[in-house]
């Protein structure tokens, strides 16, 4: 491949094509075909995320993809926020439908009418339901595969609690899941922000989101979690009877890790000029075996490769590349595809009862006794993840800056990108004009304040836009 990530757009478009991650030739604008090499990893990502949710009391469900218009309009802020992005179904066969159906842009209005039937008393709470689903939004910005498209793949968890405190604890748990999985297992660093009021989820009391940075310094939102309060429980009549017999509205949250967008971040964060780099756990093929032979020993070498394959296949995803391509071609090909570990086996290895092991991330070659190969692969798998996290964190942390002037902010965003902390007047709706001013002058977007940060501007610091006394630090970044 040999394209530097400093030219990120070309690098991204090339790896998506060369590694056969998706096919853009589907004849419907904004929709793409996800191909096996990407889906195999995303299936692993789904499984890891769902295990984490289920271990914390969430249960899976499948709700319909179509939402009656009357459901979608039940919460006024929600419908106002989503109608511009909705795909509508108006006909079935030759029949015109009496009511339009929305292809779900998100599932609050599909799930909550049922929640009102499922919940009657405290015994039914908390209700913690999630589904793995596709959603459809008519994105008008330029689409980019995995990063932004009109159909994407995610998990959405929708929860009901008896108290506001319980709901807020769920928001914190969602953040813990993001750290545990996205950072510690996928190797993707992020900051968790409380979004300003003008940029919250339509219908939420507050929105919190994990934002990472892609190699061009632009921010990409990963999971968001929303404190819905009682904004949906009231229109959808989600009530429970408390111990005194009083009927009360539930407190709700929802959480949406977008697997396809996290995948975009995964390949962007870890890839290099040679191609993809995967954490060992997520690689579609974890170990590739390359036979090194001549015509006179081909059978002997392939038989040994098959023996090693059978020894490993119950523990790892393994492939023997017995194609007619040269070993050098195979090395470059599987490096581009991001396979974490390569095993090279030739007659010398057979004679010495050893195997040459090469890791994708370090390119270091080592000879491993055949009897130790299983343990050595497990050990290297852990080392690969540790290295990936360390490398990603180092780059990410180097792209967090501070500024106290508009000129300085613009210079940082122009030259480096990243997150820039600035003093700001407020993150309430009153601050929206200042946010627009920042956007117009720097092309930067307010991402929000760091969740649970105790840091506040001193009395001499002024809002970067209006010049009033600063009450909060907000972070600015250019975004996807």
Q: What is the mean pLDDT of residues 357-380?
A: 96
Please tell me whether residues 164 and 307 are part of one structural domain. Answer: no
Same-domain pairing of 141 and 265: yes
Q: Check whether residue 339 and residue 453 sit in a common domain.
A: no
Same domain, 105 and 202: yes
Structural domain includes residue 277: no
Is the residue at 56 inside a domain?
yes
Among the candidates 215, 238, 270, a domain finishes at: 270
Residues 316 and 459 in one domain: no
Residue 50 lies in a domain: yes
Whether 388 is in a domain gets the answer no
pLDDT of residue 108: 94
**pLDDT recorded at residue 346:** 97
Number of Cα atoms under 13 Å in the Cβ half of residue 445:
15
**Domain CATH number, residue 409:** 3.30.110.30
**What are the tens digits of pLDDT across the range 301-324?**
999 999 999 999 999 999 999 999
> Distance between CA 19 and CA 40 in Å, rounded?
13
Last residue of a domain, one of 241, 270, 299: 270
Q: What per-residue confidence (pLDDT) applies to 2?
A: 84
Structural domain ending residue among the three candidates 270, 299, 327: 270
Provide, rounded to the nearest whole percent, the portion of the chain with pLDDT above 90: 93
pLDDT band (50, 70, 90) for residue 140? confident
What contacts 56, CB < 8 A, 6 or more positions away?
128, 173, 177
The range of the structural domain enclosing residue 427 comes to 401-477
Is residue 119 assigned to a domain? yes
Q: CATH number for the domain including 66?
A: 3.30.930.10
29 & 115 share domain: yes
How confident is the model at residue 142, as a pLDDT?
65
Same domain, 234 and 306: no
Count other Cβ atoms within 10 Å, centred on residue 180. Answer: 12
User: What b-and-e string marks burial along 124-139, b requiring 16 or more CB atoms within 10 Å of the CB?
Assistant: ebbbbbbbbbebbbee
The reply to whether 275 falls in a domain is no
Q: What mean pLDDT value characterizes the chain? A: 96
Residue 165 domain flag: yes
pTM over 0.85: yes
- Based on the fold, state whether residues 360 and 451 are members of the same structural domain: no
Overall number of domains in the chain: 3
Question: Which helix (H) or strand (E) element contains residue 69?
Answer: helix 69-72
pLDDT given for residue 467 in this prediction: 96
Least confident piece of the model among 53-57, 78-82, 338-342: 78-82
Q: pLDDT tens for residues 391-443?
A: 999 999 999 999 999 999 999 999 999 999 999 999 999 999 999 999 999 99
**What is the C-alpha separation between 343 and 367, in angstroms, rounded?**
10
Q: Identify whether residues 131 and 77 lie together within a single domain.
A: yes
280 assigned to some structural domain: no
Tens-digit pLDDT profile for residues 177-214: 999 999 999 999 999 999 999 999 989 999 999 999 99
């Amino acid at each position: 491949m040999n394209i530097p990530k400093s030219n990120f757009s070309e690098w991204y478009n090339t790896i998506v094509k060369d590694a056969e991650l998706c096919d853009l030739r589907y004849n419907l604008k904004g929709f793409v075909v996800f191909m096996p090499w990407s889906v195999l990893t995303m299936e692993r990502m789904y499984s890891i995320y769902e295990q984490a949710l289920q271990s914390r009391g969430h249960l899976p469900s499948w709700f319909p993809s179509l939402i009656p218009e009357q459901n979608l309009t039940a919460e006024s802020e929600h419908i106002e926020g989503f109608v511009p992005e909705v795909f509508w179904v108006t006909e079935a066969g030759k029949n015109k439908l009496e009511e339009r159906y929305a292809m779900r842009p998100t599932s609050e209005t599909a799930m909550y009418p049922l929640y009102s039937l499922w919940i009657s008393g405290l015994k039914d709470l908390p209700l913690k339901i999630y589904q793995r689903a596709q959603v459809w939004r008519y994105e008008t910005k330029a689409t980019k595969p995995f990063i932004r498209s009109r159909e994407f793949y995610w998990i959405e968890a929708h929860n009901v609690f008896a108290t506001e405190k319980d709901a807020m604890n769920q928001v914190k748990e969602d953040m813990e899941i993001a750290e545990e999985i996205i950072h510690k297992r996928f190797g993707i660093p992020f900051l968790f922000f409380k979004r300003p009021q003008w940029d919250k989820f339509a219908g939420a009391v507050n929105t919190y989101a994990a934002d990472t940075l892609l190699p061009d310094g632009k921010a990409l939102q990963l999971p968001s979690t929303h404190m819905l309060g009682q904004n949906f429980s009231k229109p959808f009549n989600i009530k429970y009877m408390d111990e005194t017999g009083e009927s009360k509205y539930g407190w709700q949250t929802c959480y949406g890790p977008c697997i396809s967008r996290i995948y975009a971040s995964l390949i962007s964060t870890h890839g290099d000029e040679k191609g993809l780099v995967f954490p060992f756990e997520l690689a579609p093929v974890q170990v590739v075996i390359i036979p090194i032979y001549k015509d006179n020993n081909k059978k002997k070498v392939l038989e040994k490769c098959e023996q090693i394959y059978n020894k490993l296949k119950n523990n790892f995803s393994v492939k023997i590349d017995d194609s007619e391509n040269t070993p050098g071609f195979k090395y470059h090909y599987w490096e581009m595809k991001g396979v974490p570990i390569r095993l090279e086996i030739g007659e010398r290895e057979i004679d010495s009862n050893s195997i040459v092991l090469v890791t994708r991330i370090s390119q270091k070659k080592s000879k491993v006794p055949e009897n130790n190969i299983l343990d050595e692969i497990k050990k290297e798998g852990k080392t690969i993840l540790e290295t990936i996290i360390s490398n990603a964190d180092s780059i990410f942390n180097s792209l967090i800056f501070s500024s106290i002037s508009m000129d300085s902010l613009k210079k940082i965003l122009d030259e480096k990108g990243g997150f820039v902390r600035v003093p700001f007047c407020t993150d309430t709706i009153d601050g929206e004009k200042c946010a627009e001013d920042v956007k117009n002058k720097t092309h930067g977007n307010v991402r929000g304040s760091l969740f649970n940060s105790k840091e506040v501007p001193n009395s001499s610091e002024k809002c970067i836009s209006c010049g009033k006394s600063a009450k909060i630090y907000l972070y600015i970044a250019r975004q996807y």
